[in-house]
Structure 1
Amino acid sequence: MRLVLQLVARLLVVVILCLTAATVWATVDAYRSVDRATAASADRVSEALQALYWRELLLRSSRMHEHLLPVPEWRTTETVKLISPGICVQFEPAKPFEKPLCGQSQGLGKAPPRWFASAVQTLLGGHAAVARPISARETTAGVVSASPDPDAAIRLAWAHILDNIGVALLMAAAIALLASIAIAHTLAPARSIVAALQRMAHGQYRTALPRFHSMELAMIGKAVTDLGDRLAAAMEERAALTRRLLEIRDDERRALARELHDEFGQNLTAILAFANTIEAGTQDKSVAEDARMISRASLRIMASLRDTLNRLRHPPAEELGLEASLISLVDSWHSQHAARPLIQLDMQGDLADVRGTVAATAYRVAQECLTNALRHSAAREIVLRIERRSGEENALLIRVEDDGGGDAASVQQSAGFGLTGIRERLAALGGSLSIARARRGVSVAATIPLAA
């Protein structure tokens, strides 16, 4: 899962938790606000009736105090305005059959769900009535008792919660959206780092990264740049060592070729001459037959030695050029192995100026791939394709494909000296080797940068 999505998911979890906490707080506050409204209504009505009581008491001083109870004309429109919606006020002592005076309870919102009403009443309990004396000095003046209507209280709490939750949802959505944009913008430079690592995986070790404003990303970018520089330096040192080892090995191959030619070649020639002399000078048929067998064995060994010397000697590509050396290589295979599969040579692009180490490496790759295809497969046809690619690639592509039905995976995992040598030569020039399954066999492709 992408890091941006993970951070956004965690942010949404935090927002949901905060929204849940806000919902619980809003529920408790809305439910308790009914108690506050009840107390406020009792205070306002008691203050209004206190003023009315003292006015009547002063105007009618000749009357008894009990004749003022209940306070005359207290059930008025002005008194109703002092009562909060859903709150009912009762004057004590009340007249017989007198109903409480209630505030406006219409339009308090939709009826809440049953589970909400039962849950709130179970967890938070009911609402207590609030009593306020009309006068603190005259205890006989009466008492104002305010109590909320249970159904109206639940409706008020539900409407208050819906209002708060709506605002909270809008704020949560805005916070999640803006935070997601900020997180995505902050982590956007990570794509540059990933792209640089991917280029490094393909061999482009020295990759320039943009300047990051975040300290953490800047540290990561610097570490990636330093790693690329160290890898590039290590690969350059490795390539130099590989080239030096190849030069030493080529010198050893040439020295070995001279030794084989001087020692084995002369001895085999002498053996062949002795066998011919014995065959010509003897009258014994069995001895003559043995001499002929020795001659034939010597000729086979000399042919094998000649092939070995051709492989050990300096490749002709450095002197003749790649195109001429490849034509000579294919012709030699045809002449020596007439019964073997057909080898098709396909050359594309201008190969005339491909010489030196690149030409020698391409020749060795083609030679080794042809040898493996002829020895280890039952191919009827082998295609050797050499292509020079210009432009940005500027590389030489060597591809050998056969129809012998081999296993590309086993060839890829092979630790033979031939493929190992090819990989070393290509690594010394910054090239690459790939082995894949062809339509009817195995395809081996090597790429050599011409800049090498």
Structure 2
Amino acid sequence: MNLAAHLGLRLALVALLCLAGAVAWTLAEARSGLAHEAAVSAERIAAQFGRQPGLGSAGPAARLAGDSPSAAPAVLTLLPGICAEIRLGAEAPRRYCGDWDGLDAAPAGLRAALAPRAEAVTAERAVLYRGRAVGSVTAWPDPQAAASRIWRQVRLAGGLALALAAATALLGWIATARLVAPAGRIVRGLERLETGAPASPLPRFAAAEFDRIASACNGLAGRLAAAEIERIDLLRRLVAVQEEERQVLARDLHDAFGQCLAAAGARAASIEAAAPRDREDLREEARGIEAVVASMRESLRGALARLELPDLAGAGLVEALRDLVAQWRGHVRAGPSLHLDAAGDLSGLPPETSAGLYRIAQELLTNALRHGRPSRVFLRLEAGPGAATLTVDDDGGGDPARALAAPGRGLTGIRARLAALGGSLSLTGTGSGLRARATVPMPA
């Protein structure tokens, strides 16, 4: 649940509590009003009878003016919805109720709940004639009328309170949503920062707290961008140093080890030629040494081919890849078929990008042929708008997740080269094998 919804629920809860308070206050106020009306009605009737001539002789034979409730003078002084009981001397008690139109009848449950309380609200006044008490008047709210009045007031007050509560909750939610809206922009900025995607600086916000957070995020983004530039620069230097070391190692192997192998081969040939005719064993040993030397020369040529870069500036990257594929075809004569496809204009590739793509192609072909059992391997180099893509497909099986998690420096070195070039690597499954795709930017 987001912050706006959380605060909106809090406001709604507060509004409901206010609604409950308003209903309780309305009930108490309605009961107080009914008690006041009962008291007023009792006082009016007592005052009316106190002014009636001949009341002092009231007795069993005395009668009030008019026997029927509709004609009784007491009814005229009763407020609507109020009932009264009049006791005068030894006369039988008389009950009267004020007119009530019966509209807005309360629900049955509310009437049943309020009836005992309404009857308990009574007001009693003495009937005084010339300073002497000759009777009493007791007034109370009619339960049906009281329930109706309370129900009407509760509906009015509850409806107003509910409308105000809903409006308060809605306006509070809108205000809160607008207030915390910068949090969403800050989170999206941090997510882009996490993925390494370029992100524009966060703007200034009206809320001081969010403005400080945005300033801190912008500062962090600036420091991370500077650190990323330094990292890429270090990777470029590392790749350059590695390439220089490869060239130095290739020259040393060629100059020192190659000469030693040549000398050993020449010495073995000399021994074979100078051996006596009866020393066939000596000649056999010499031929064995020559075979070992020839095998070591072949291994040395393969190592030099992997260490040395071809003349990419002269022959071009595509020709260098064709030679690389031809070398592998020579190594795996009875193995999988190798195919190379090139598309697009690759003449605008910078030298370091061409060298990086060549090294990546070397490593991807090595991984496909040495760590799987493919029947075919496709290598495709394509120049698109703003980027060059090198793709290696094979049908030798394999799991991309396991390949990415496997120990080794092959994919690590590829990622380092691509990071130095500002590129990326993806490794996916094709159903029958793996597809490795390296993408590097091209100058416009």
Same fold, TM exceeding 0.5? yes
Q: Distance in 2 between matches of 1:172 and 1:253?
A: 77
The structural deviation recorded for 1:16 is: 3.1
Q: Distance in 2 between matches of 1:77 and 1:205?
A: 93
For 1:36, give the aligned amino acid.
H
Moved more, 25-34 or 73-82: 73-82
SS in 1 for 2:158: helix
Q: 1:147 to 1:352 in 2, by over 3 A?
A: same
Does the aligned pair in 2 maintain the 1:39–1:146 contact within 8 Å?
yes
Does the aligned pair in 1 maintain the 2:83–2:96 contact within 8 Å?
yes
Q: 1:177 to 1:136 in 2, by over 3 A?
A: farther
Of residues 242, 246, 251, the one that matches 1:249 is 242
| TM-score, length basis structure 2 | 0.86
Q: Distance in 1 between matches of 2:327 and 2:21?
A: 87
The structural deviation recorded for 1:121 is: 6.8
The structural deviation recorded for 1:232 is: 0.4
Aligned to 2:42: 42
- Establish whether residue 160 from structure 1 lines up as the match of residue 153 from structure 2: yes
Moved more, 181-190 or 341-350: 181-190
- Establish whether residue 402 from structure 1 lines up as the match of residue 394 from structure 2: yes
Aligned to 1:22: 22
Of residues 387, 403, 415, the one that matches 1:423 is 415
Q: Distance in 2 between matches of 1:317 and 1:43?
A: 118
Aligned to 1:434: 426
- Establish whether residue 208 from structure 1 lines up as the match of residue 197 from structure 2: no
Aligned to 1:326: 321
The structural deviation recorded for 1:37 is: 3.1
The structural deviation recorded for 1:372 is: 0.8
The structural deviation recorded for 1:412 is: 0.6
- Establish whether residue 272 from structure 1 lines up as the match of residue 265 from structure 2: yes
Aligned to 1:219: 212
Q: Distance in 2 between matches of 1:320 and 1:79?
A: 124
The structural deviation recorded for 1:265 is: 0.6
The structural deviation recorded for 1:205 is: 4.7
Does the aligned pair in 2 maintain the 1:315–1:364 contact within 8 Å?
no
Moved more, 334-343 or 236-245: 334-343
Count of residue correspondences: 438
Aligned to 2:7: 7
Deviations 1:253-278 (A, max 9, x none): 22211211111111111122222233
Aligned to 2:83: 88
The structural deviation recorded for 1:396 is: 2.2
Q: Distance in 2 between matches of 1:361 and 1:137?
A: 124
Q: Structure 2 stretches of 5 or more lacking a match?
A: none
Identity of aligned residues (%): 38
Q: Distance in 2 between matches of 1:30 and 1:294?
A: 120
5 Å-filtered alignment, 1:9-408, equals 9-46=9-46, 49=48, 53-54=50-51, 65-66=56-57, 80=75, 82-93=77-88, 96-97=91-92, 99-114=94-109, 116=110, 127-133=120-126, 138-140=131-133, 143-282=136-275, 283=277, 284-314=279-309, 316-317=311-312, 320-390=315-385, 394-408=386-400
RMSD: 3.2
For 1:292, give the aligned amino acid.
R
Deviations 1:163-214 (A, max 9, x none): 3323333223222333333333333333322332232233235522233222
For 1:218, give the aligned amino acid.
D
Moved more, 405-414 or 200-209: 200-209
Does the aligned pair in 2 maintain the 1:387–1:398 contact within 8 Å?
yes
The structural deviation recorded for 1:367 is: 1.2
Does the aligned pair in 2 maintain the 1:197–1:224 contact within 8 Å?
yes
Q: 1:75 to 1:300 in 2, by over 3 A?
A: same
Q: 1:348 to 1:29 in 2, by over 3 A?
A: farther
Does the aligned pair in 1 maintain the 2:41–2:78 contact within 8 Å?
yes
Q: 1:233 to 1:143 in 2, by over 3 A?
A: same
Deviations 1:66-122 (A, max 9, x none): 4698886797688646533321123342784563221223424334343x4565578
For 1:407, give the aligned amino acid.
D
